[in-house]
Structure 1
């Protein structure tokens, strides 16, 4: 995973003109159930922030691209949960932990949109909360409000450490 992150950052550094679409793609992968385990997007986004702090990239376009990628990824995960509820429940990891769906339903009844918002900031929950929201048929408007707000805050938080760190070291 570290090699993949290093290669991705090198690709962006050497081809700044594709930084925005790649940032969208990384955030999208980080937000889609199962893809998030394959792409080390959190590390890449922090690294992209370092390129911003070093003056190689601009913050606002990357921030917007990361937020939009997260929103689209969340929407896809929600839709997958809503559309394929019965079949997804039979797939790993839900098939090994059948008690998770009732717990997810309880989670959304208890926390609602706040649960979606906070879930964005908890690593393993980032991609599974939208899937669970779809599985439990959380009202779409509430889901959209939470995911849009959390995506913009999250993308700024992901880019900020590298941006500030590189700026302080310069």
Structure 2
């Protein structure tokens, strides 16, 4: 298979469906930020390359960024809600039940950094899967959680998309 054909096919597909790009990005970051799902479907490498594809397809960066930030925000919010509702019984759900070391790391990290753990944890792959859940289990106040969640989702979405978008603009224009 010709690499040029593959590149052209992907760009043509993304350009033809550009209105769905923020929604698809939101779904990807939702899954990446949701406890349990992010352990099974790690999409970080895909998300970094998506920034390049979106820029090459002339999709405005701000639209991609908003979609990615919203998905990340909602994924953590759902994880936090699960933690508040089900407490430590959430640890028994697969695939988290297969990774007890992540639970210990998440709890230790949360106890050490408090509200900052929600912000910082999003940037560390394994912690991203459990930190919002742990915040809910430890009954972190909702307003404080949402403030850290929104701030971290906004910064994280920029950090994962900007390198690819910047590289695309540098290489293609």
TM-score, reference length from structure 2: 0.81
Contact 1:108 1:138 in 2 (8 A): no
When structure 1 is superposed on structure 2, of 128-137 and 37-46 the one drifting more is 37-46
- The structure 2 residue matched to 1:31, chosen from 30, 33, 40, is 33
Q: Distance in 2 between matches of 1:103 and 1:46?
A: 25
5+ long unaligned stretches in structure 2: 1-9
Q: Distance in 1 between matches of 2:111 and 2:57?
A: 45
Corresponding residue of 1:112: 114
Describe the shift of the 1:101–1:46 C-alpha distance in structure 2 as closer, same or farther (beyond 3 A). Answer: closer
TM-score, reference length from structure 1: 0.82
Q: Distance in 2 between matches of 1:16 and 1:160?
A: 18
Name the SS for the 2:114 alignment partner: helix
Corresponding residue of 2:48: 46
Q: Distance in 2 between matches of 1:36 and 1:114?
A: 21
State the 1:86 CA deviation: 3.9
Describe the shift of the 1:145–1:62 C-alpha distance in structure 2 as closer, same or farther (beyond 3 A). Answer: same
Question: For the aligned residues, what is the CA RMSD?
Answer: 2.6
Aligned length: 164
Contact 1:19 1:62 in 2 (8 A): yes
5+ long unaligned stretches in structure 1: 1-7
